[in-house]
Amino acid sequence: MKKMFMHSPLEQFEMKMLLMMNDMLALSMTNYVVYLGMVSFMMYNMMTLLNKTNLEWNRWGLAMLAMYDTMLNMVKSQMGNKGGYYFPLMFTLFTFMLMANLVSMMPYSFAMSAQLVPVVSLSLSLWLGVTMLGLAKHKLVYFSLFVPNGTPLPLVPVLVLMETLSNSSRAMSLGLRLSANVLSGHLLMLMLGSLMFNLMNSSMFGMFFGMMPMLGVVAMVMLEFAMSMMQAYVFCMLFSGYMKDSMYLH
């Protein structure tokens, strides 16, 4: 048996061209697009299932209702009753992140949300939408968001600068948090896994004493499952917080 990875562990995140018209930019299909289609198909099926769910259906229906209820509670607690208007967006985002993260946890699959460019562009466009929402709702009063309540006058220029910086860095940090988490989690799992593989493959001694660290690897995988669910929740929670900021200004 050879080593488990050929050149570097970053190989698992490479986009491979599966179908190509004439160059990479024309109607090309990468493995990213395949996974995107898979997740959208699953989301569509989940929507049709969710439409006929009631409390006495089965356990899977109850799980879907619990997800729905969790998101509804989160949106309502962050944005009040008016936030229910933005609930479909939030629920779609949550389901998309959850399914993308969980699909990428399957062995030998492609980690969709570890791709920095699509995830960061998603969060950038979400932030842009939130900013446009605030400007449309409050006109120029929206910029009062950059001056916290009760600041003394000499501090205002500095604070405006800092608030502007922190507000505009939200666009990057929202997506970077998700994809950096998935990227480093998958790298860690691959490296630990191949380390264990090489150790237990080396000798009978290694096989025997590899059993204990094996439990550590299993614990890492369980942590990754938990993180993949938690990151989807955190993404939606932070995004609804940002939306609350631009809806109500403080």
Partner 1 sequence: MQLTLAAKYMGASMATLGLGGAAMGMAMVFVALMNGTSRNPSLRATLFPQAMLGFALAEACGLFCLMMSFLLLYAV
Residue among 58, 12, 2 at smallest CA distance from 191: 12
Cβ at position 187, least distance to partner 1 in Å = 5
109 vs 184, beta carbon nearer partner 1:
184
**67 CB neighbour count, 10 Å cutoff:** 17
Question: Which tokens in the block code for residue 53?
Answer: 């769910």
Which one-letter amino acid corresponds to residue 130?
Answer: V
From 22-30, 37-45, 80-88, 174-182, span contacting partner 1 (CB under 8 A): 174-182
> Which residue from 181, 228, 240, 246 is in contact with partner 1, where contact means CB under 8 A?
181
Residues 214-233 that bind partner 1 (CB under 8 A): 227, 230-231, 233
Cβ at position 129, least distance to partner 1 in Å = 23
Q: List 29's β-bridge partners, or say none.
A: 19
Taking the C-alpha atoms of residue 171 and residue 126, their distance in angstroms, rounded to an integer, is: 8
Judging by beta carbons within 10 Å of its beta carbon (0-12, 13-18, 19+), is residue 58 exposed, middle or buried?
exposed
> Which residue from 176, 200, 217, 220 is in contact with partner 1, where contact means CB under 8 A?
176
Q: Any alpha helices (H) in 139-250, and if so which ranges? A: 156-202, 204-209, 211-248
142 vs 235, beta carbon nearer partner 1:
235
From 5-13, 16-24, 93-101, 207-215, span contacting partner 1 (CB under 8 A): 5-13
66 makes contact with partner 1 (CB under 8 A): no
Cβ at position 74, least distance to partner 1 in Å = 9
Strands 29-30 and 17-19 come out as antiparallel
Q: 3-state DSSP call for residue 19? A: strand
Judging by beta carbons within 10 Å of its beta carbon (0-12, 13-18, 19+), is residue 238 exposed, middle or buried?
middle
Cβ at position 34, least distance to partner 1 in Å = 24
Number of residues lying near partner 1 (CB under 8 A): 18
- 72, 87 contact by CB (below 8 A): yes
Binding string, 182-221, against partner 1, x = CB under 8 A?
A: -xxx-xx---------------------------------
From 21-29, 142-150, 164-172, 180-188, span contacting partner 1 (CB under 8 A): 180-188
10 makes contact with partner 1 (CB under 8 A): yes
Q: 3-state DSSP call for residue 224? A: helix
Interface residues toward partner 1, by CB under 8 A:
8-10, 176-177, 180-181, 183-185, 187-188, 227, 230-231, 233-234, 237
